[in-house]
Copies of this chain bind each other. A is one copy, B any other.
Amino acid sequence: MCEAHAYLASDGGQEKIMENVVTLNYDGDDLVLRDLFGDEKRLKARIREIALLERRISLEPTGTSS
């Protein structure tokens, strides 16, 4: 299995926001993450880096601007 964990940049660090992510896509301004179990998380963020071997997805908030 190749799921990964998603981290969102926050003050001085990275906060894990979702485990076992299997898909990412955009819906308008929202980045939509889905995990192995079908749970979904939407946030205003952009993808900063994806490291597949480390199974790590790094995101950063885009704020409320579109």
What residues make up the interface of A, taking CB atoms closer than 8 Å to B? Answer: 1-4, 21-26, 47-53, 55
Number of copies: 2
23 contacts between A and B (CB under 8 A): A1-B53, A2-B2, A2-B4, A2-B52, A2-B53, A2-B55, A3-B52, A4-B52, A21-B52, A22-B51, A23-B49, A23-B50, A24-B47, A24-B49, A24-B50, A25-B48, A25-B49, A25-B50, A26-B48, A26-B49, A47-B47, A50-B50, A52-B52
Most chain B CB within 10 A, of A4, A48, A51, A52, is at A52
| A39 vs chain B, min Cβ distance (A) | 15
5 smallest CB-CB distances across A and B, nearest first, come from: A2-B2, A25-B49, A24-B50, A2-B52, A22-B52
